[in-house]
Amino acid sequence: MPRPSQDQDQALLAAGAALYPRLGCAGLSVRRVADAAGVNPAMVHYHFGSKDAFLRALLQQHYEAMFGALSLTSAGDGDVMERLAAALLGVARFVREHRPLVARVWADAQAGEAVAQDFLRANAPRHLGVLMALLQEAEAQGRLPPKPLLTRFSFVMGAVVAPLLLAGGMKAVNAVPAPLLAMVDDEVLSDAALQRRIEWALLGLAADV
């Protein structure tokens, strides 16, 4: 018996990616995903085995695309501060472009959803480890003064990534005053704004104070 087209796999994953940020693990049903993808609900089980397996595949697909790019950016013999800046930019862009999904994963994990908790346990150490390794490499090369690693890491992430979550969340619920909307896009969410914050954060880390 020929296997149904693998295009159905991607159609289901695309439909799930559109629905998951709004519905979460609990509200995302097999039927809703199948209806959105235009396929028979049985195809979810055929391709993925179960709803939980489908959710794992959905989250992992997005993460692996980001982590693969991050790994390439951080590797090599180039200047460590340039690699660190590029890695931070890659992570920040991912958070900016997938903020609703990121926010929902955190919310589901805090609500006790096992799929979200397992996903975070398995994957958060991977990109955090890459960024921390770059910070340690920069210190070992004398590019950064000795400082506690977690303090340094939390400072960088607070400067670069946290504004994306705050501003993106406020935009999502229409909590940004209309006169500030353009400023938020330009001064918080844009690539230029990300690069400025990264530059300032790394300058702050390099200051021996």
Convert the pLDDT of each residue in 29-57 to its tens digit. 999 999 999 999 999 999 999 999 999 99
Residue 159 is predicted with a pLDDT of 95
Convert the pLDDT of each residue in 182-197 to its tens digit. 888 899 999 999 999 9
82 and 162 co-located in one domain: yes
Distance CA 119, CA 124 (A): 8
Q: Is 76 exposed, middle or buried (0-12, 13-18, 19+ CB in 10 A)?
A: exposed
In a domain, 120, yes or no: yes
Evaluated on CA atoms 177, 183, 189, 190, the torsion sign reads positive
30 and 88 co-located in one domain: no
65 and 14 co-located in one domain: no
114 and 202 co-located in one domain: yes
Residue numbers of the domain that contains 18: 1-49
Residue 77 has pLDDT above 90, yes or no: no
Quote the number of domains for the chain.
2
Count of Cβ atoms closer than 10 Å to residue 74 Cβ: 20
Convert the pLDDT of each residue in 80-126 to its tens digit. 999 999 999 999 999 999 999 999 999 999 999 999 999 999 999 99
Residue 57 is predicted with a pLDDT of 97
117 and 173 co-located in one domain: yes
Residue 7 is predicted with a pLDDT of 86
Residue 1 is predicted with a pLDDT of 39
27 and 93 co-located in one domain: no
In a domain, 54, yes or no: no
% pLDDT > 90, the chain? 83
The band of 4, judged by pLDDT with boundaries at 50, 70 and 90, is: low
In a domain, 103, yes or no: yes
**CATH code for the domain of 2:** 1.10.10.60
In a domain, 109, yes or no: yes
Distance CA 28, CA 33 (A): 7
Q: What dihedral angle (degrees, nearest 10) is formed by the CA atoms of 61, 133, 85, 155?
A: 100
73 and 153 co-located in one domain: yes
Among residues 49, 71, 89, the one where a domain terminates is 49
Distance CA 1, CA 139 (A): 59
139 and 63 co-located in one domain: yes
In a domain, 162, yes or no: yes
**CATH code for the domain of 189:** 1.10.357.10
Residue 6 has pLDDT above 70, yes or no: no
Residue 64 has pLDDT above 50, yes or no: yes
Distance CA 163, CA 41 (A): 39
Residue with tokens 């209309």: 178
Residue with tokens 């296997």: 3
177 and 148 co-located in one domain: yes
In a domain, 21, yes or no: yes
For the chain, the average pLDDT equals 92
Reading the block at residue 82, the tokens are 């340039």
In a domain, 142, yes or no: yes
68 and 159 co-located in one domain: yes
Task: State the DSSP string of 40-55.
Answer: -THHHHHHHSSHHHHH
Average pLDDT over residues 16-22: 96
% pLDDT > 70, the chain? 96
71 and 37 co-located in one domain: no
Residue 175 is predicted with a pLDDT of 87
186 and 121 co-located in one domain: yes
Residue 2 has pLDDT above 80, yes or no: no
The one-letter amino acid at 26:
A
In a domain, 164, yes or no: yes
